[in-house]
Structure 1
Amino acid sequence: MLKLDLMTEKDRKEAAYIERRRIREEERKKRIFNPRSRIIGIDADALRSQIDEKKKHDEEQKRIDRIFEDNLKKADQIAIALAQKQDKEQRKLLQEIDNFRKQFQKAEDRREFDLNDPNGIKKQLPARVSDEDPRLGPSSAQKFEGEDLVNEERLRVQREQISAWLHQQMVEKEQAEKERKMADEAYKAAVIARDQRAIELDNMERECRRKLQEACTRYNLALAEEKCKTDSLKNQETLEDNSAEIYNALTSDLLTENPDVSQSNMGPNKKIAYLYKGMSDEEKAKIRADQLAQVEEAKKMKELELRMQKEFDDYLNGTQRSIHLMDMELERKQREERKRIAEENRRLAEEQRNRKEYLDKIVYANRATDDYFSQFNKSSR
């Protein structure tokens, strides 16, 4: 802090001037160093004033809304109270009307109550009390011909009629029982006759079956005797045929192994397979000679193949030696080329290192430090 007690008036003015300059410089730096404010050019004071006005407008609107809500709540409360009061008065009026009707407008006091009396019919006399009722005139329509005026006589006649009906039903039942018994006896007699007839038919059927079985037995015995004779003749013929077949087989060319029968008509060297019994001694000797000749020929072919294989191996070994010498010559040339490239790289590296030392020590001796770059953007001027 400044020691204002030891400062003169001129120093105070100078200090106030410096302070104002510093404040303006800080505000200027805020405007210049802020890209948004510098490029777009926003008026912060105007924006703040607009924000303040908007806040005031919002607060005023909220205040008006609160007042409106309070008035609306009060109006609702008043409307509810008036509605409750109106409902209470309406119920009171309806109660008074009901009391007046109960006291001064009773149903039995009405002029036309006799027409609407629910017990009016119960209070009236019936249209007909008895047959001697004086109210029953010709036009009363209450007494007619054929009515039950003689109840006792009617009941007596009905009892007699019921007794007659019961007697008739008993007679009919006895008659029906007799007829049923007669029908049962007739049915039993028919069943007995039917059973006797069935027994007679069964006996007849058994007799027929017995006779038929006897006839079948005699016929089967005759067939068996005939079959025995036939089988005996057939066995005799089969035995004779087998003997002839055995003799023919023993004397046939197949078992005697006649070589002439195996010769085919298709050619001198063709044989019939199922008649061929093998080769002769001359044929076997000829085949053996041919096999020995083939063996000698195979030995010659084997020796020729071995000789050719040896020549090929010698040629292959000479070729491999030539290729090996060529590979060694190529590796020698590659080593010399790698040495030459290494010497060239070493020379270039030495030149590059000398050039870097020259640039660092002579050309770029005065290199910029961090202090040089930090001096920028310190003020707005």
Structure 2
Amino acid sequence: MPPPTAPEDKDELRVEARRQRELERAKKLGPGRLRNIGADIAGVKNQVEERQRQDAANREAQRASDEEDAAIRRYLLQVESEDALAKRRELLTLRNDWATQTAGVREARAQEAVVRARGIDPDTCAPGAAQKFEGEDAARLERARLQALQLKQWSLDKMADEAQRDARESDAQAAYMAELFAIERLMEELHQGNERERAAAAAEISRFNQRMLNQQRQDGRDRQRRDQEENAREIQLTLQSHLVSENPLQAALPGVPFERRVRVDHWKGFSGEQTKHFLSQNDELLADKARRAQQSREQAEEHARGQRELQRVLAQEEHLAQQRRAQMELDVRATREQQAQQAADREKANADRARGKIEPGFFQAFGRSYR
């Protein structure tokens, strides 16, 4: 692209100059939107520059922190490498020392075996070979073997005793658990028995109440039937009796003679026999009513006595059940305390046996050394 040529027209020069002035003015005054809202152009520029400087400082601090972290990581890696190298050197040194010691032991044993394989040649021995000095222990190896056998036997006996004690403790624990299960089973049976007795008593009370209800209903039906019969009889007497009815036309019923008709205005009242008869009927009614009242009172008293007796029996059974339950709990508690005491005694005995001191005669049982 060829370079732009300078404008030759005056108008073009004037427009170009105006454009340059506007650009400088906009650069100096800032954006028009900020000027319209009243913003401080210089303050905004200062804030932007401050933010840029802060970002640069943060980047520099982050770079320094990253370099420091990298240096720390390099140092830690170096320390770990040195520690690993030191441990490896120590392990190699320990392995070499152990190999050297075992090789020395093997060589010493080989030399001793070679010496023993040669045997004793009396011709090459001096007179001192036949001498025996005080303090030499010719039976050292045999005594060591016997001591090892005795220690082995003692260990086996100790293990057998431990096994027997564990077996006894297991048997005792099994017996204890069986006894606990038996006690729980007895308590469960007692509880079930109490529940059955309570259910039977409740069923008996329900049946008794049902019988009483049926009896009361039957008595009510009988009383209602008697009342209906009495009402019907009274109505029948009212309709048919010449004495009760005061209407001559009503008294003249079929089957009744006309001359026996009762006249209202000529009736003189009851005769002595009729009065006695009615009084006797009233007495019978009163006696029957009193007898019924007496029967009702007797039935109520009998029912109350039955209820009181049943309540007394239930209370007594409940009291006995509580006593049995309390006694059972006391027995269980005593048994548990006894078993806990026995367990504590066993633990103490085991601890005493485990921490028993070694008497001076313990080592003498393995033989004596004269060296």
- Report the TM range for the smaller structure's normalisation: under 0.3
Query: TM-score, length-normalised on structure 2?
Result: 0.27
